[in-house]
Amino acid sequence: MTILKSIDLSKTFANHKALDHVSITIPRQSIVGLLGPNGAGKTTFIRIITQIFMPDEGSVLFNDEKLSRKHVLHMGYMPEERGLYKKMKVGEQLLYLAQLKGLSYPIALEKVKKWLKKLDMESWWGKKIEELSKGMQQKVQFIAAIIHDPDLIILDEPFSGFDPINANLIKDEILQLKKEGKSIIFSTHRMESVEELCDYMVLINQSQKIVEGKVHDIKNSYKHNLFNIETDQPIPADYSAQFNILDSYRMENNHIHTTLELKSPITNNELLRLIMNHATIYKAEEQIPSIKDIFIQKVNESKNKLPIH
């Protein structure tokens, strides 16, 4: 099930091709990491699906319908360039924005009070935006994006300016929104946030999509069958048909650390049984690449494959 699908989206500004036939599927009730270097096309993609821009080519489906103005009320957008009125007070601003998004005054008032209490912001009601720190403004902007209970929430660098406590608070709220059935597009440069939060990811570079899929599947597809093993004895090289020993050294605790690469299609359990014939295993882990590792690899690969517009 998908909530949003882009089909061959293209957009050009003057001589710059911002998007080049980009097709992306956003699964329902998922947190999707939208990744890419600066200028890759992420913001253009977001502005097309929020109908700030119109594509030159291609189309977008929302709940299997062609995207139209009526769908705006079913989306919540927190832009990287924050859009709050500096002279307005927090409470009146959130009430105003909630009503713009279709809520009646009584319902808007109820929801604003609920969210201010939930995020420990009740005392902020009468404060002007310009009196708040960047992190405090972030929390107000987050509430503004979700106050109308949208089906699709788009967060562009949502943790910028947050201290660790407030970053964890917003992470918890994002996960709760997913549990409640929301779909979330999470555009960021922070790879660790993708590891923690996202179950699906899309990587855009030089205006084209170069990776898309479940985070778990993508990480497994880029692993190199490398293992780190700690034992009480050196692992003999008798099983050269099954693995290569790439590195081995004695650690401070007198354990032997070995890095090896599987050569034959044996299972992890079969590998451990081979080693246990010769040594006691204290620790064994497969080297799985991080999202950051995959990001760097794919961006570097695409530099040699994609035209520079």
The H or E element spanning position 133 is none
pLDDT at 295: 86
Q: Which of 28-32, 118-122, 190-194, 287-291 has the highest mean pLDDT?
A: 28-32
Work out the mean pLDDT of the chain and round it to a whole number. 91
How much is the pLDDT for 195? 86
CA distance 181 to 128: 33
Binned at pLDDT 50, 70 and 90, residue 192 comes out as confident
pLDDT for residue 304: 65
Q: How many Å apart are CA 145 and CA 136, to the nearest integer?
A: 15
Does residue 37 carry a pLDDT above 70? yes
Spatial CA neighbour of 202 closest among 85, 74, 32: 32
Highest mean pLDDT among 172-176, 221-225, 240-244: 172-176
Percent of the chain exceeding pLDDT 70 equals 98
How high is the pLDDT of residue 305?
Answer: 60
pLDDT in tens, 9-25: 999 998 899 999 999 99
Q: Which fold is adopted by the domain 2-220? A: Rossmann fold (3.40.50)
What is the rounded average pLDDT of the residues 64-83? Answer: 90
pTM: 0.85
Q: What is the model's pLDDT at position 308? A: 42
Phi, psi of 252 (to 5 degrees): -65, -30
User: Across residues 246-268, what is the average pLDDT?
Assistant: 90
107 burial via Cβ count (<10 Å: 0-12, 13-18, 19+): middle
CB 200 within 8 A of CB 27: yes
Contact 184, 174 (CB under 8 A): yes
Q: Is it true that domain 224-286 has CATH number 2.40.50? A: no
- What is the average per-residue pLDDT within 142-158? 94
Supply the pLDDT for residue 39. Answer: 84
Could you state, in order of their start, the residue ranges of all structural domains in the chain?
A: 2-220, 224-286
Q: Which pLDDT band, with edges at 50, 70 and 90, does 309 fall under?
A: very low
The answer to whether 202 and 49 have CB atoms below 8 angstroms apart is no
Mean pLDDT over 127-140 rounds to 90
